[in-house]
Amino acid sequence: MAIIIGLLEISIAFIFFLVFQCFLLHKKTQRPFPTNWPVLGMLPALLHQVPRIYDCITEVLEAADMTFHFKGPWLSRTDILITVDPANIHYILSSNFVNYPKGMEFRNIFKELGDSIFNVDWELWEDLRNSAHAIFSHQEFQKISVSTSMSKLKQGLVPILENAVEENILVDLQDLFQRFLYDTSSILMTGYDTECLSIEMPKVEFSDAVDGVVDGLFYRHFMPVFLWKLQKWIGVGVEKRMKRGLASFDKLFEKIISAKREELKTHIDSKGEAVDVLTYYLTMDTTKYKHLKLSSDKFIRDIIFGFLIAGRDTTSTALTWFFWLLSKNPEAKTKIRQEINEKMPKFDSAELDKLVYLHGAVCETLRLYSPVPFNHKSPAKPDVLPSGHRVDENLKIIITPYAMGRMRSIWGDDAEDFRPERWITDSGKLKHVPSYKFLAFNAGPRLCLGKKLTFLQMKTVAVEIIRNYDIKVVEGHQTKPVPSIILRMRDGLKVSVTKV
Ligand code: HEM
């Protein structure tokens, strides 16, 4: 009997040994794909990876030849096709655009943005797009964009940096850029200066509100609908924070719209030219765009809310990563400084195009740290993508500019490196890179309407800071992106500032 028990023990030990070896071998050779469990699908792996979601998706896509089918829990309708294949992207965003609206699922997730341009399809989107394009490309609006950015820079940002130098205090660059962009966007979008950018650093209620909303929207992409709806109904977790944020935003906006309506009763710009986007929509000839419900305050709120999020969070995020990347790549900073001193001894916004290396550095930042890390589509009709993947109406398609910017198959073996030279030809001109490859601003008919404004604002801030200050990131400061629909840094960017 003892011999039998002994043999049994040895056999069990041997089986364990074999299983353990197989497991180790599997781990060593394993590609980074999440396990597809019965019932739960790949959700457990996803939840486990949330803190490093962007890099995890990048690794999976690199190993999966740029397209991966994520399986959600059974019956939860959260299957997602994630793709960064340029052929698919071009097909979805441009050549077969009509079959790939945002779709009902997107509208459901982004319900709180109402009828903002990001959220709608078809005729309403066309009217919003055409009307927004008319104001954003208006010469007067562009002039105001330049003058607003310049005056906020000189009267808001520079005094704070000077104060930091004199008092030898640390500043959070992300917070500073958010304040800068919130003030400038608010002036351009509503005509009101929120005056967040001052040495006193007043508490910005809107900022917390927006962060709450954008973080909540991120989780809804991956959670089964019934789960986030239940959370919303009970009022817990990210849904609770989102609700609080929206309430505070709505209160603020109610005041702004009614004040503007009052103001317009007594004063309408004599030249009939819009000076800010809110005035533009409130005084617009309502017969021009028949799908816009301009008499509704809620509709106006939706439009402006969308533009404010678009204008503040994206550009401030891009500027933050830009200065972080320069701190990691001091030789690039030196080259930019030389270029500024040689080609633009005195600031002139009309001459910004001369700063080719700076432009390359901005593009490189947007490639590696795309401020909008995800985009979301749903096919209207079943289709087959150029990669051969079948998609039907129930499938969500997620395109991720963050992962796309890091694919070695697209950008080469140095895809992870910050190399502004990538964007410059041998003759010193800017290289054209198609938007379905450099996807930070989206591509096709829904290409970002603020692209020009973004380059203008980023370069204006960069020139002023790099010419005059040395920015040093505090030793040991962690720079992790928050899992959200905007790629802001979780703990901000703490820096010390000295004069050049
Ligand atoms: C670094 C800065 C920016 C980045 C990375 C960026 C990126 C994007 C992306 C990815 C989209 C497509 C979104 C989607 O379809 O869901 C988009 C659309 C848009 N962006 Fe930007 N954006 C930036 C700055 C701005 C600014 C400053 C404005 C102006 C206020 C702006 C206005 C818009 C508008 C109106 C759309 C909607 C276009 C449409 O759906 O037809 N963006 N942007």
Q: Which secondary-structure segment (H or E) carries 399?
A: strand 396-399
pLDDT at position 430 is 97
DSSP class of residue 157? I
Q: Which atom of ligand 1 is nearest to the CA of 445?
A: 41
Same domain, 269 and 382: yes
The residue whose C-alpha atom lies closest to atom 35 belonging to ligand 1 is 449
pLDDT at position 273 is 54
pLDDT at position 58 is 96
The residue whose C-alpha atom lies closest to atom 14 belonging to ligand 1 is 118
Q: Check pocket membership of 402 for ligand 1, CB cut-off 6 A.
A: no
The residue whose C-alpha atom lies closest to atom 1 belonging to ligand 1 is 315
pLDDT in tens, 177-223: 999 999 999 999 999 999 999 999 998 877 778 888 888 888 888 78
Q: Check pocket membership of 372 for ligand 1, CB cut-off 6 A.
A: yes
pLDDT at position 21 is 40
Where residue 47 falls among pLDDT bands split at 50, 70, 90? confident
The mean-pLDDT minimum among 49-53, 372-376, 432-436 falls in 49-53
Same domain, 10 and 110: no
The mean-pLDDT minimum among 42-46, 54-58, 254-258, 457-461 falls in 42-46
Using the predicted structure, report yes or no on whether residue 1 has a pLDDT greater than 70: no
Same domain, 22 and 107: no
pLDDT at position 270 is 47
Using the predicted structure, report yes or no on whether residue 25 has a pLDDT greater than 60: no
> How many CA within 13 A on the CB side of residue 349?
19
Q: Enter the pTM of the model.
A: 0.90
Domain encompassing residue 25:
1-30
pLDDT at position 274 is 52
Taking residues 322-339, what's their average pLDDT?
98
Yes or no: say if 456 and 421 are a contact pair by the CB < 8 Å rule. Answer: no
Same domain, 317 and 340: yes
The mean-pLDDT minimum among 63-67, 205-209, 233-237, 463-467 falls in 205-209
Q: Check pocket membership of 318 for ligand 1, CB cut-off 6 A.
A: yes
CA of 469 to the centre of ligand 1 (A): 30
The mean-pLDDT minimum among 21-30, 110-119, 328-337, 437-446 falls in 21-30
Residues placed in the known binding site for heme: 448
Same domain, 12 and 36: no
Q: Check pocket membership of 101 for ligand 1, CB cut-off 6 A.
A: no
CATH number reported for the structural domain that contains residue 435 in this entry? 1.10.630.10
Same domain, 332 and 413: yes
Yes or no: say if 42 and 71 are a contact pair by the CB < 8 Å rule. Answer: yes
CA of 448 to the centre of ligand 1 (A): 4
Yes or no: say if 319 and 474 are a contact pair by the CB < 8 Å rule. Answer: no
Residues placed in the known binding site: 448
Place of tokens 């909008």: 372
pLDDT at position 269 is 54
The rounded Cα 395 to chain-centroid distance in angstroms is: 23
Same domain, 141 and 12: no
DSSP letters, 160-183, are HHHHHHHHT--EEHHHHHHHHHHH
pLDDT at position 291 is 96
The residue whose C-alpha atom lies closest to atom 24 belonging to ligand 1 is 450
The rounded Cα 422 to chain-centroid distance in angstroms is: 22
The residue to mutate among 448, 452, 454, 456, having the most atoms of ligand 1 within 8 angstroms of its beta carbon, is 448
Same domain, 298 and 315: yes
State the angle between helix axes of 297-328 and 451-468 in degrees (0 to 180), rounded to the nearest 10.
40
Q: Which atom of ligand 1 is nearest to the CA of 307?
A: 30
DSSP letters, 29-78, are H--SPPP-BTTTBTHHHHHHHGGGHHHHHHHHHHHTTTEEEE--STTS--
pLDDT, greater one: 287 or 10 = 287
Yes or no: say if 269 and 279 are a contact pair by the CB < 8 Å rule. Answer: yes
Q: Record the tokens describing residue 198, joined without a space.
A: 């001052």
CA of 11 to the centre of ligand 1 (A): 63
Q: Check pocket membership of 440 for ligand 1, CB cut-off 6 A.
A: yes
The mean-pLDDT minimum among 45-59, 264-278, 430-444 falls in 264-278
Q: Check pocket membership of 449 for ligand 1, CB cut-off 6 A.
A: yes
Q: Check pocket membership of 371 for ligand 1, CB cut-off 6 A.
A: yes
Same domain, 1 and 79: no
pLDDT in tens, 371-399: 999 998 999 999 999 999 999 988 899 99
Closest CA to 340 of 159, 166, 468: 468
The residue whose C-alpha atom lies closest to atom 6 belonging to ligand 1 is 441
Alpha helices in 270-350 (DSSP H): 277-282, 297-328, 330-343
Using the predicted structure, report yes or no on whether residue 11 has a pLDDT greater than 50: no
Using the predicted structure, report yes or no on whether residue 330 has a pLDDT greater than 90: yes
Taking residues 114-118, what's their average pLDDT?
93
Same domain, 10 and 92: no
pLDDT at position 5 is 42
Q: Check pocket membership of 405 for ligand 1, CB cut-off 6 A.
A: no
- How many domains is the chain partitioned into structurally? 2
Same domain, 73 and 109: yes
CA of 291 to the centre of ligand 1 (A): 21
Closest CA to 149 of 177, 178, 173, 184: 184
Percent of the chain with pLDDT over 90: 71
Same domain, 7 and 58: no
Q: Check pocket membership of 365 for ligand 1, CB cut-off 6 A.
A: no
CA of 197 to the centre of ligand 1 (A): 23
Chain-wide mean pLDDT for the chain?
A: 90
For residue 28, count CB atoms less than 10 angstroms from its CB and return exposed for 0-12, middle for 13-18, buried for 19 or more: exposed
Q: Which atom of ligand 1 is nearest to the CA of 439?
A: 10
CA of 449 to the centre of ligand 1 (A): 6
pLDDT at position 8 is 41
The residue whose C-alpha atom lies closest to atom 19 belonging to ligand 1 is 448
Taking residues 421-433, what's their average pLDDT?
97
pLDDT at position 317 is 97
The residue whose C-alpha atom lies closest to atom 32 belonging to ligand 1 is 450
